[in-house]
Structure 1
């Protein structure tokens, strides 16, 4: 069973999974996304939740609807997603990470070692 985080709506978590599948090449540009019903059944969520996540990808320009055929990853989506995800990381995630590093007094050397002091 899928574990959902409480800090973010499920449709955004599903969207993020699809983004990760595009970025890691599980789904390539020009490929169809899994059907809404298939994803809903696999994740035990309402099909409307999956539809909302897919629509969000359409709104971002990463996916296009093909009437009667389904949803397909657009050409250039992977490159655009890399830019989007990098920007999101640097503006949303990194400041909190950097603050935590500073609060713990960690150096670049500390971060680059595997934790083994030998």
Structure 2
């Protein structure tokens, strides 16, 4: 059953909203050898929950910033979004050095400023 919030997001994405999903961290505080964003929650990697929300609420491109074990994360995101509405708007950007959230946001600039399109008026950062 779809909640009222889910229904509203599905019916009307927020105009002028670009979404940045942070998926580059090392996950040191989790004390796990497994990639933080790929930990399973209710049968799905954590990062896919954030990407699913981004697909529902934004009307611009979605930047997913990857870093630690980037290729594994990229494969999971690509497999998890294939065939979903809006999947073509997901762009994966690599942060080769993990220098913090501000640096990660800067890595996503190219996603929102090419092809002569207007930049989003607002950004949602999912961390």
Say whether the fold is shared (TM-score over 0.5): no
**Which structure ranks higher in relative contact order (CA pairs < 8 Å, sequence separation ≥ 6)?**
2
Structure with the bigger percentage of helix:
1
Larger radius of gyration: 1
Normalised by the length of structure 2, the TM-score is: 0.30
Normalised by the length of structure 1, the TM-score is: 0.31
Structure with the bigger percentage of strand:
2
